[in-house]
Amino acid sequence: MTSTEFLPAGLNAALSAAIVFVCICRADKITGSVLNRVKAQYVLMVMGACANGAAPWLFAMPGWPSVFFTFAVLFMLAADSYQWRRGPPESSTGPAPLGDL
């Protein structure tokens, strides 16, 4: 293996660690009023990010497509962060208000 194969693996691990950090911070804000599917979403995302970051030891060396996908997931979490600053958003605590259209 060449040293250039380790660059995507390192970036993938760093981005996966950031995803785990964001998900744990959001899980800390989750209260009893949050829907179970939202709770499960963040638990599964932590598990997936841990497996993705540990891919060189568990599966195979990740390539650039894996790095781009991990970055996209982290970007989506960061883009949604304004809704979670003061706790879970309304959309995570109940059904969407479809009657207000």
- Listed residue (87, 83, 73, 93) closest to 21, CA to CA: 73
- In the DSSP assignment, the letter for residue 35 is -
What does the pLDDT read at residue 100? Answer: 58
pLDDT, one tens digit for every residue, the chain (101 residues): 677 778 999 999 999 999 999 999 988 888 888 888 888 999 999 999 999 999 989 888 898 999 999 999 999 999 988 888 888 887 788 776 676 55
CA 24 to chain centre: 9
Q: Which of 65, 75, 55, 70 is nearest to 16 (CA)?
A: 70
**Of 75, 92, 91, whose CA–CA distance to 15 is shortest?**
75
* pLDDT of the residue at 48: 94
Q: In this predicted structure, what is the pLDDT of residue 78?
A: 92
Answer whether 60's CB lies under 8 Å from 12's CB.
Answer: no
Please tell me the number of Cα atoms within 13 Å of 91 on its side-chain side. 4
